[in-house]
Amino acid sequence: MKGIRLSLFIAIFTITICQAQEYKASLFGCMSDGITNNTTSIQAAIDYIAEKGGGKLSFYVGRYLTGGLVLKSNVTIELHEGAILVASSNINDYILYENERALLFGNNLRNVSIIGKGVIEANPKQYFLTTNALKGKQQLQADYLALTPSLLTMINCSNVKVEGIIFQKSLQNAQKYISCNQIDLSNQIIRNNTIENSGSVVFQNTKSITLKNIFIDAKGQPIIKDQNSEIIMVENCINPKGKPVL
């Protein structure tokens, strides 16, 4: 009897997980006009979905301006074709965690996906104008350049999937994975990077990495990986000259 109850519970639990409910961004008041700063409403959406046991937050066509967001386990972000997450040009809008600054930030998470044909982009010109202005007013610490935000940084996360997304106009690194496990990156386009050493994908102490169908137009080295990182599969990852990036 106990066994049946347990398996029933597991079955229901699995069904709940599998039926990852979709929540549209507008449900949380997110605005696609490109000028409304949506940070708090998108964060509220992510937190709400995580509390409900997980699901998918869907963005449809439009520009969703946002500052730093903290990702949560079991929450998928889907950017449909034409949907753009636009990073704020204010350095203080980003997530700052130890020596990392990021637009999308994950720490100690399981099962995180960012999928779709949409875009994640910053605005380097505006960002550095704003940042230099702050620096001129002595409002920034000297190491602010070393802490230029990435578009996505994940620390100590496992089972992460980033599929189909276009990362463009990075301020520094497009994506950064530190002490992660099971990182699956596929069908990405990383381009329009204009700032020195921007657009790279960085792996530190990260295991079980698979890379498939990625076009990287990075200003620096496209893939930066330390000795402790382990890429288990690479397929069709090229730079603009058509050369394999690894």
Partner 1 sequence: MVMNTKRYIISALALLLINFHIKAGTTDTIYNASLFGIKSNGTTLNTTSIQKAVDYISEKGGGTLRFYVGRYLTGTIELKSNVTILLEEGAILLGSTNIYDYNIKEPIPGLVYAKGAENIAIRGKGVIDGQGREVAYNLVDQIHKGVIEDPMKYDRPDNKRPHCIYFRECKGVNIYGIIIKNSATWVQTYDQCENVVVDSITVISTAFWNNDGIDIVDCKNFKLLNSYIDAADDAICLKSHDKTKRNENVEIRNNVARSSANGIKFGTVSAGGYKNIRIINNKVYNTLRSALTIATPDGGIIEDIFVDSLYAYHTGNPIYLRIGARWNNERIGSMKNITIQNFYAEITEEKPDAGYEIEGPVEDNPRNISPSGIVGLKNMLIENMKLKNIEISYPGNGNPNYAYRGTSAKALSEIPEMETAYPEFSQFKELPAWGFFIKNARNISFENVKLIARNKDYRTAIVMDNVNGYSFKNLQIKEAGVKKKKQMIKNNSK
Q: Residue 129: which H helix or E strand, with range?
A: helix 124-136
Q: Least distance (Å) from partner 1 to the CB of residue 33? A: 6
Q: Which two tokens stand for residue 243?
A: 């050369």
Specify the residue, 32 or 173, whose C-beta has the smaller distance to partner 1. Answer: 32
Q: Least distance (Å) from partner 1 to the CB of residue 115? A: 15
Task: Provide the CA 143 distance to its chain's centre, in angstroms.
Answer: 23
**Helix or strand or coil: residue 94?**
coil
Specify the residue, 48 or 60, whose C-beta has the smaller distance to partner 1. Answer: 60
Specify the residue, 146 or 246, whose C-beta has the smaller distance to partner 1. Answer: 246
Specify the residue, 105 or 127, whose C-beta has the smaller distance to partner 1. Answer: 127
Q: Least distance (Å) from partner 1 to the CB of residue 191? A: 8
How far is residue 164's CA from residue 189's CA, in Å, rounded to a whole number? 7
Phi, psi of 215 (to 5 degrees): -105, 115
Q: Which two tokens stand for residue 197?
A: 């050493």
Residues in touch with partner 1 (CB under 8 A): 24-27, 29, 31-35, 58-63, 81-84, 117, 119, 166, 189, 191, 215, 217, 238-242
Q: Which two tokens stand for residue 122?
A: 């910053």
Q: Least distance (Å) from partner 1 to the CB of residue 203? A: 23
How far is residue 47's CA from residue 98's CA, in Å, rounded to a whole number? 22
